[in-house]
Amino acid sequence: MNQRIKLHALSVSLVALSSGLVNAAEVNLYTTREPVLIQPLLEEFNQKTGIKVNTVFIKDGMLERVKTEGRRSPADVMLTVDFGNLVDLVENGLTQRVNSKVLNTAIPGNLRAANGHWYALSMRARAVYVSKERTPLKAISYEDLANPKWKGKICIRSGSHPYNTWLIASYIAHHGEKATEQWLRGIKANLARPASGGDRDVARDILGKICDIGVANTYYVGTMRNGDAEQQRWGNAINVVLPRFKNGGTHINVSGAAVAKYAPNRKEAVQLLEFLSSDHAQAIYAQSGYEYPVKSGVKIDPIIASFGKLNIDNVRLSEIAKYRKAANLLVDKVQFNH
């Protein structure tokens, strides 16, 4: 009898242990950002909440993967480094609404979806790199990039790259398609070399006297000036000017996140987003990638702060998103990359 009681007690304990393992708090993060860049934050989140974060790094094709997985997808939070990819997830019905007072208080209205389907977590500005040696430029508008005075002096990556697609879409939002087409033709006429390469190549070619100014993201300056010796030379050869639209502010792109439509751990997913919007997390998140925090009052990395105050453009990201297709069509129409 005593033996049966012992066996029953052991059976109950094993069931309880098994149940505890199955129900252990966790959250599955699909991310296009290298996990190593946010791992310290995820570990801190785990220590603070007891929720384990399982990260799945997806360099390309997150949309296709989540679509294919369908209702069986284990994804709880989907984090992207480009707003275009985030919008694609929303527009394909792969996200769900979040109504969090914490998130809505921390993140400004223009940096989150009105219906709670996405939230920005960090920002970068589309800036102008300027030769320290040859170009004493203190201010410039995006419109001025098409001014003939810059003929043969501008470097930029492909017009089809998402960073430039968003800038062109933003220009359409401000000025319309016809004016944007003329603007693109003007910039193309001013190029020192074909639109190609990456943003860091812009700084490299300014150092190499191929061009005097170029269009690139702010955070690359931090990575260059803290990179290897060669990249430090590129980063130290330039100043950074934050352009503005003549009727607006500086164009930004964002990294952001959304809760997956079929998230098996919805509660934990929301907790993770709320943690990433906290003062402490925002400071680490922004400084580790040399980006701007979305929450006001959070300290910015000194290199990024040295560029001056960021006056964000007044057109909502969701409005710019409407013109992405038109932007790509214009790039093809003017043969910007050829």
Q: Is 292 annotated as contributing to ligand binding?
A: no
User: CA 185 to CA 88: how far, in whole Å?
Assistant: 28
Rounded to whole angstroms, the Cα distance separating 37 from 146 reads 36
Secondary structure of residue 78 in the 3-state scheme: strand
Farthest-apart Cα atoms in the chain, separation: 97
Q: How far apart are CA 212 and CA 205, in angstroms?
A: 8
CB 210 within 8 Å of CB 275: no
Instruction: Round to whole Å and give the CA distance between 310 and 164.
Output: 19
CA distances from 230 to 155, 207, 303 (A): 19, 11, 18
Going by their DSSP bridges, the two strands 252-260 and 95-96 should be labelled as antiparallel
Residue type, 269: A
In the structure encoding, which two tokens stand for residue 17, read together?
């242990």
**338 burial type by CB count under 10 A (0-12 exposed, 13-18 middle, 19+ buried):** exposed
Spatial contact of 216 and 202, defined as CB atoms under 8 Å apart: yes
219 is in an annotated binding site: yes
Q: What angle is formed at CA 283 by the lines to CA 90 and CA 317, rounded to 5 degrees?
A: 30
Residue 16 tokens, joined? 């309880």
C-beta neighbour count of 274 within 10 angstroms = 18
Helix or strand or coil: residue 244?
A: strand
What residue has token string 């190549």?
201
Q: Which residues are CB-contacts of 56 (< 8 A; sequence separation ≥ 6)?
A: 28, 29, 30, 31, 75
Distance CA 152, CA 335 (A): 17
Residue numbering of the annotated binding site: 219-220
Residue numbering of the annotated binding site for Fe cation: 219-220
